[in-house]
Chain A
Amino acid sequence: MIPEIGHFALVLALLLAIAQAVFGLGGAARGQGAWMQAARSALAGQFVFVAIAFGALALAFIERDFSVLYVATNSNSELPIFYRIAAVWGAHEGSLLLWALCLAAWSLAVSALSTSLQAPFRSRVVGILGLISIGFLLFMLTTSNPFERLVPAAIEGRDLNPLLQDFALTIHPPILYLGYVGFAVAFAFACATLLEGRLDVTWARWTRPWTLAAWLFLTVGIALGSWWAYYELGWGGWWFWDPVENASFMPWLAGTALIHSLAVTEKRGLFKSWTLLLAVTAFSLSLLGTFLVRSGVLVSVHAFATDPARGLFILGFLTVVIGGALLLYAWRAPLMKSTAGFEPTARESFLLFNNALLIAALALILLGTLYPLFMDALELGKISVGPPYFELVFLVPMLPLLALLGVGMHATWKRGHLQPMRNRLLGLALAVAVAALVITGVVYGDIRPLATLGFALALWVMGSSLMIPIARWRARQAIPGAVLGMVVAHFGFGLATLGITGVQSFKVEKDVALAVGEAATIAGYDFRLMELRDMRGPNFAGVEGTVVVSSEGEVITTLHPQKRLYNSGGNPMTEAGIEVGAGRDLFAALGEDLGQGRWSLRIQYKPLIRYIWLGALLIALGGGIAALDRRYRRVVAAQPATGAVAPEASR
Chain B
Amino acid sequence: MTTTKGILIFAHNNEEIDYFKLAVINAYYIKENLGIHDITVVTNKFSYDYNVKNVGKEFIDNAVSNIVFTEKDKAFKNANRRLYKDTSHTNKTLPFYNVDRCDAYDLSPYDETILIDADYLILSNTLNNCWGHENELMMNWHYEDIMSDRNDPSLKRLSPFGIKMYWATVVYFKKSNYAEQFFNTVKHVRDNNNYYQDLYRWPGSLYRNDYSFSVAAHMLGGFVDKAIPQLPIPSLYKTFDTDDIHSSPRKNEILFYLEKPKSLGDFVLCKWREMDIHVMNKWAINRVSEELINHVT
A in complex with B: no
